Amino acid sequence: MSARILDGKMLAQRLQQELKNEVELLRVRFGKTPRFMNITIGQEPSAGSYGKSQKRAADFIGIDYQFAYLSSQVTQKELLDYVHGLNEDPDIHGIMLHKPVPEGIDFQQAVNRIVPHKDIEGMNIANLGLLMLGRTNIIPCTSAAAMALLLSCGIDLAGKEAVIVGRSEIVGKPMMLLLLEKNATVTVCHRGTSKAGRLIDQVGRAEVLVVAMGKPGFIKGAWVREGSVVIDVGINAVNGKIVGDVEFDEAARRAAFITPVPGGVGPLTAVMLMKNGIETFKTQMQMV
């Protein structure tokens, strides 16, 4: 079997166009343009590419997207006060805190300071709690992107064996909840699974495999179940090239659908951030 490629760039373009149309309608209805603030502390080089793709997506959609660069010497209290100021500003409709943050800064405490109706990454504990209850439309962006690609193949997830490799707060855990919402039977694997020598078996069972490890080519193509859907979230730089966590060529021979890296989940992530932001904007417009 030769897998069909799940093209994240194409899906991102389609979604961006839909969001652009929606923002135009919202502008007519409320007389306002959504405005979001990305807080970046210090000059982390990684802020570059994700930040740029956020700005590109925002510009296309018609969102006013700004960056606040805080000094790497900023204290936790100064950061919390800064977030509070943005919470109180009626012209800011969405806030995100770029990761990583310098040592000594408590990321989750700062994200929890963002009011839930401005938390465009969906990482505030209130939004994570609502996600757990299946009652939010603010979904952590990477898992929202992975889910959009998965749903684009048109498979019915109910009762499917879904295996996630990686249990991070930003990808693996939200993905687990989203797949459960769709009635998949979900297994979450992590380092402990590998240490027990059980990862190969778990991967081999997966009708839907979502991998977010940060380990280039760790999942061997030969482990992948015939006819499965493989969503590779990994982004790893190897010898100047970006590769995923799954050994692509062999996996593509076995799977029915597979995401490429680059060009799969990555291009959709920033668009999902904007989608969340449009939801927070609508909530705020309905609050006034």
Question: At its nearest, how many Å lie between ligand NAD and the CB of residue 85?
Answer: 28
The three-class DSSP label of residue 205 is: helix
Per residue in 224-239, is it b (16+ CB within 10 Å) or e — as a string?
bbeebbbbbbbbbeee
- What does the DSSP 8-state code read for residue 241? E
- Shorter beta-carbon distance to ligand NAD: residue 15 or 199: 199
Under the rule (CB under 6 A), what is the footprint of ligand NAD?
142, 165-168, 170-172, 189-191, 193-194, 199, 212-215, 233-236, 265-266, 269
Length of the chain: 288
Question: At its nearest, how many Å lie between ligand NAD and the CB of residue 199?
Answer: 6
Question: At its nearest, how many Å lie between ligand NAD and the CB of residue 213?
Answer: 4
DSSP 224-241: SPTT-EEEE---EEETTE
- Shorter beta-carbon distance to ligand NAD: residue 20 or 190: 190
Distance CA 43, CA 4 (A): 39
Question: At its nearest, how many Å lie between ligand NAD and the CB of residue 100?
Answer: 10
- Shorter beta-carbon distance to ligand NAD: residue 13 or 194: 194
- Shorter beta-carbon distance to ligand NAD: residue 74 or 213: 213
- Shorter beta-carbon distance to ligand NAD: residue 70 or 213: 213
Strand duo 241-243 + 236-238: pairing: antiparallel
Question: At its nearest, how many Å lie between ligand NAD and the CB of residue 127?
Answer: 17
Report the chain's terminal Cα–Cα distance, integer Å.
55
| Alpha-carbon distance values, 36 to 73, 101, 218, 225 (Å) | 24, 19, 37, 42
The closest residue (CB) to ligand NAD is 168
Question: At its nearest, how many Å lie between ligand NAD and the CB of residue 1?
Answer: 25
- Shorter beta-carbon distance to ligand NAD: residue 80 or 177: 177
Distance CA 155, CA 167 (A): 24
